[in-house]
Amino acid sequence: MTEGRTSDLQITPIPAFSDNYIWLLRQPGQRQAAVVDPGEAEPVRAALDQAGIALSAILITHHHPDHTGGVAELIGAFPDAAVIAPHDRRIRGVTQAVAEADQITLPGLGLSFEVLEIPGHTATHIAYLGDGALFCGDTLFMAGCGRVFDGSAEQLGASLLRIAALPPETLCYCAHEYTLVNLGFAAWVEPDNERRQARLAEAERLRAAGRPTVPAPLALELATNPFLRTREPAVVAAAEGFAGHRLRDEIEVFAALRRWKDTEYD
């Protein structure tokens, strides 16, 4: 059992595209499983076939195709599977649309999750919180965060502050392997952060071994992710140096960091 868990839930990454993770959730001995953000169907079906299990639920965090592109094919193969997603007409095949504070129980797994609305990357982005795990889609990345698409920087900054207030032992499961790149930007913001330096060495070791850097405990994000460290004097100073003026609050610091990364790093 992983630290922060209250059950024997097994969470396995299914690599997709060049850097996506589809998360497979199952309980030992059970014949059903759930997946989070299946942008492709083929790798999910291969993982299910290999384990000899069926799909009972699909959880969607937001509408982007690399998170929803496999839904139709998976429903075709598993027509009884629940499709749980935010209220968003752009997401097809939904059987249960959910919103802030809704509680969902995954069929065949007996696990419950709370829905958190965390807009910004998209206007309708949600996360699923339960069993010591947070499935945060593209809002929070390891050592970084998502870009702003049809949400706003103010929304995304507020969503990250909300995530930062969760229990520090929460394991964060994002949907992309961006950790090394994000730690590079974090070095621009906090070059003297020793925890960041140690994390970079560990992330390089994991990737060299072909292993994911996801998940990470929220405590590690709070120590190394500049987008969650918008109260830290060094981060504030770096953001103000980029902006060229004083910043009034954490949301303005976040917005400056996001613009900095968008315009000069990515």
Active-site residue (options: 138, 249, 262, 266): 138
Active-site residue (options: 37, 64, 125, 131): 64
Beta strand pairing call for 126-130 and 111-117: antiparallel
Helix axes 194-208, 179-189, angle to 10 degrees: 160
46-61 burial: b if 16+ Cβ within 10 Å, else e:
ebbeeeebebbbbbbb
CA atoms within 13 A on the CB side of 1: 10
> By C-alpha distance, which of 2, 13, 9, 7 is closest to 37?
13
The two most distant CA atoms of the chain are separated, in Å, by 58
Q: Is 138 a catalytic residue?
A: yes
Q: Is 63 a catalytic residue?
A: no
Q: Is 66 a catalytic residue?
A: yes
Spatial separation of the C-alpha atoms in residues 31 and 110, rounded to whole Å: 12
Active-site residue (options: 37, 63, 125, 176): 176
Active-site residue (options: 37, 62, 63, 125): 62
Q: Is 64 a catalytic residue?
A: yes
DSSP 3-state percent helix, strand, coil across the chain (nearest 5): 35, 25, 40
Strand partners, 130: 133
> Can you say whether residue 129 is alpha, beta or left, with left for phi > 0 and alpha for psi between -120 and 50 degrees?
beta
Active-site residue (options: 37, 63, 67, 131): 67
Q: Is 176 a catalytic residue?
A: yes
Active-site residue (options: 121, 192, 245, 262): 121
Spatial separation of the C-alpha atoms in residues 37 and 175, rounded to whole Å: 8
Residues that are catalytic? 62, 64, 66-67, 121, 138, 176
